[in-house]
Structure 1
Amino acid sequence: MKVLVAVKRVIDYNVKIRVKADNSDVDLTNVKMAMNPFCEIAVEEAVRLKEKGVASEVVVVTIGPKAAQEQLRTALALGADRALHIETDERVEALTVAKLLKRVVDDEQPGLTILGKQAIDSDNNQTGQMLAALTGLAQGTFASKVDVKDGTVDVTREIDGGLQTVSLKLPAIVTTDLRLNEPRYAKLPDIMKAKKKPLDVKTPAELGVELVAKLTQLKVETPAERQGGIKVASVDELIDKLKNDAKVIS
């Protein structure tokens, strides 16, 4: 069974975000970029399926500028077999990403497609669901456990009320949650081997998808800094503060 994994290039989660002076966007000058953490979990799950003998090939795909090939090489070093880069310097919205991934799914015909549940930059949590809708495939979102059997995959989902397990007929779409696994670190020999693994480059035009923006970004602002808390001496004083200062109770 072939497993397709979609990954995204984002600002490293350890980096403090800076906003441009004109509030037009986030400042990416000399900023460290990395693979989206949820995508790392998706790659790890695919590699584990291959190590178990469930998957025969792991293909990783990303959409973005030429620099995004760095994240593809990281995925190859973690155990993916080959990579596909859909190269574009334009901002690509979730629906367009889903349309591009649908073309890749149509071409590759994977038994299982795994994505991170969301990207830490846009936080949309949309692409996996949109891809499932466009392909007509069953979907298991927010996965904390994945169990592939003959022709099916059981996905344990994290929901508001606890856990829910759904059985999906393959091929299917799965999006990963934090508790699914703990990604490994790439070893130096694997990083060197990854440089020789195949990495194909295509454009959105070659896949027949037009990059049309449906959303307009008006302004980006830094969140307001949190004010320091205070200590109260008694329950009565706490109630007084909540009632008269914070005005959250009456």
Structure 2
Amino acid sequence: MEILVCVKRVPDAAENEIVVEGGALRADDLVYSVNEWDNYAVEEAIQIVEREGGSVTVVTVGDGDSEEVLRREMAMGANQGLLLSDPAFAGADGLGLATILAAAVRKGTYDLVLTGALADDGAAQVGGMLAALLDWPFASLVNSIEVKGGLLRVGREIEGGTQEVSEIDLPCVLSIQTGINEPRYVGLRGIRKVASVELPVLDAAALGVAPPPARVRRVDYFVPPAGAGADMLTGTTAELAGQLVGLLKAKGGLK
């Protein structure tokens, strides 16, 4: 099975102090890593290929710095990386990114495309848009995958913690939820092994694509003002219950 996994280089929230200046994040000294959800998608692709055979390609849209996330995922076990890079791609919104990725998918012969459920912007829209542009079936928030011949049996958690199981024809696009697996450790030896591997780079001309003008533009970042602190209740169980009822009544929650 030939699998393409879309990954993204994002600021590492655990390693950075987020500072907003002039309506944008201050980029000085930011530490970057692969998007967490994408990491689970790559691990799932590797596990599928280990069971079923085939290869895993990781792809990203970005500049030369984005090579680091491709190499990281190749050190993890992906077979090859693909960088989509062109000044025309700068500032692309969700639809623009999906258009670029769709052109890359059409250049290959992929049976399955995986994306993370969402990335740093939290929009969770590229996977669905990509499937629509390819006219392929799509499932979101997937937390289990079983290959059954020419189709997949996929599970996804829906409202209320209920598990939904569906069968979906190949080729298809799936967005992967965290917790579907445990991404494997990437050691220094693996990173060194792929450090000098030449990565193919495709620009707008090579892809034959011109991303549509961005219809969504980020205009500001800000930290919401802190609200009132929590009311900490103390006492016995009966006293706590009485205090809670009193607070609910005072705030209009109970009459």
TM-score (norm 1): 0.90
Aligned to 2:124: 125
Q: Does structure 2 conserve the Cα–Cα contact (< 8 Å) formed by 1:34 and 1:71?
A: yes
Moved more, 74-83 or 160-169: 160-169
Moved more, 222-231 or 4-13: 222-231
Aligned to 1:62: 60
**Structure 1: gaps spanning 5 or more residues:** none
3-state SS in 2 of match to 1:41: helix
Q: Does structure 2 conserve the Cα–Cα contact (< 8 Å) formed by 1:47 and 1:80?
A: yes
Aligned to 1:20: 20
TM-score (norm 2): 0.89
Aligned to 1:106: 106
Deviations 1:10-58 (A, max 9, x none): 1113135523232x11222101110001000011011111222x14111
Q: CA deviation at 1:86?
A: 1.0
Q: How does 1:139-218 map to 2 (within 5 A)?
A: 139-161=138-160, 162-207=162-207, 208-210=209-211, 212-218=213-219
Q: Does structure 2 conserve the Cα–Cα contact (< 8 Å) formed by 1:84 and 1:201?
A: yes
Q: Hey, what's the Cα distance between the residues in 2 that align with 1:206 and 1:192?
A: 29
Q: Hey, what's the Cα distance between the residues in 1 that align with 2:84 and 2:133?
A: 19
Q: Hey, what's the Cα distance between the residues in 2 that align with 1:236 and 1:49?
A: 54
Residue 229 of structure 1 aligns to which amino acid in structure 2?
A
Q: How many residues align?
A: 246
3-state SS in 1 of match to 2:21: coil
Q: CA deviation at 1:133?
A: 0.8
Q: Does structure 1 conserve the Cα–Cα contact (< 8 Å) formed by 2:102 and 2:133?
A: yes
Aligned to 1:5: 5
3-state SS in 1 of match to 2:19: coil
Aligned to 1:46: 45
Q: How does 1:89-100 map to 2 (within 5 A)?
A: 90-100=90-100
Moved more, 232-241 or 153-162: 232-241
3-state SS in 1 of match to 2:141: strand
Q: Does structure 2 conserve the Cα–Cα contact (< 8 Å) formed by 1:87 and 1:203?
A: yes
Q: CA deviation at 1:241?
A: 3.0
Q: Hey, what's the Cα distance between the residues in 1 that align with 2:232 and 2:69?
A: 46
Q: Hey, what's the Cα distance between the residues in 1 that align with 2:128 and 2:17?
A: 28
Q: Does structure 1 conserve the Cα–Cα contact (< 8 Å) formed by 2:93 and 2:217?
A: no
Aligned to 2:231: 230
**Structure 2: gaps spanning 5 or more residues:** none
Q: Relative to 1, partners in 2 of residues 1:18 and 1:219: Cα closer, same or farther, differing over 3 Å?
A: same
Q: Does structure 2 conserve the Cα–Cα contact (< 8 Å) formed by 1:110 and 1:171?
A: yes
Moved more, 40-49 or 191-200: 191-200
Q: Hey, what's the Cα distance between the residues in 2 that align with 1:102 and 1:173?
A: 11
Deviations 1:105-149 (A, max 9, x none): 111120111111111x21111111111111111112111111112
3-state SS in 1 of match to 2:206: coil
Deviations 1:145-170 (A, max 9, x none): 11112111111111114111111111
3-state SS in 1 of match to 2:130: helix
Q: How does 1:72-87 map to 2 (within 5 A)?
A: 72-87=70-85
Aligned to 2:137: 138
Identity of aligned residues (%): 29
Q: Relative to 1, partners in 2 of residues 1:21 and 1:13: Cα closer, same or farther, differing over 3 Å?
A: closer
